[in-house]
Structure 1
Amino acid sequence: MAVNFVIREYSAFDEESGISILRPRMLPCEQPEGVGSIEYQYELSRQGDLVGGLGLLGDEHVDRTSGHPVWTYTLNLTLGRVVRDILRLKPIFGSEEADPVFLESIARGLVMSFAGQTTNSEDLRYVALTRRETLIEEGLVDRLGNALPYEDEVILADVLVPARIA
């Protein structure tokens, strides 16, 4: 079965498995390697019961080049450990997707968990990133087959949440 998330107010929901990825708890963190300044703590639930979790790092920055600020929050999926943690979720989804497709599906769910926001006064962008090297090291290829992107940074998923001013 394929994992396909739809936007809910505080989550991304996969109808086939009945699993929601809830909007994560976001905590400030200091990493000596400069890997991230935000710790994202995700919960996965089915009918209110916790069925899984995922923790990862990321960061934020503001882009003012378009004339109005866009806050970009990056989810760092460049560590092999994080990719392996995501792939370990396949059984709870009952997924038979190939690993690279499942990774992209979950990355979409992670960023989509933010898309139902209705009270943001500025544009927000959420991006799930990995690296070409990580995909190679973990034995994954992109959905186009054996051809990996040439660029080192690979965007697995992103979503823009426009400002909603009441």
Structure 2
Amino acid sequence: MPIKKLKEYLDKNNIEYITIRHSLAYNAQRIAATTHIPGKELAKTVMVKIDGRMAMAVLPASYLINLKLLKETTGAKKVEIANELEFKHLFPDCEIGAMPPFGNLYDMEVYVAESLADDEEIAFNAGTHVELIRMAYADFERLVQPVVLQFSNARTA
């Protein structure tokens, strides 16, 4: 059960959270609509390679990642989106594309978009394409200790 590792970690740290089950969905915007969570509060995890190191870029579902901005704000020489073959082995307990934004559980750095850090609560995939976890952003930040940067842009119609 993919969510077990994450729930155990949250429980061990006395974090209040709720789990939300939803119908099978792979697109963050569709999940937000299905679960009635504003796209700005649903965090999506985009796997990136920053100077060859795998990292998580976490941003609102209603935003797009700006690789040029991520490169500038991290001071990296090269930033690119990772393909599934490069990272799926790093998350043996998760369905591909449903990794929770807890890089600390997978020994990798996490970058959070400033626009997401403004939210009181966030929700995110809990390792499957049918379950989310919703919790206080402050608790997420305390546990994960992400680097908060500006690297996303609001999606335009």
**TM-score, normalising length: structure 1:** 0.30
Quick check: which one's helix share is greater? 2
Larger Rg computed on CA atoms: 1
Q: Which has the higher contact order (CA 8 A, sep 6+)?
A: 2
**TM-score, normalising length: structure 2:** 0.31
Quick check: which one's strand share is greater? 1
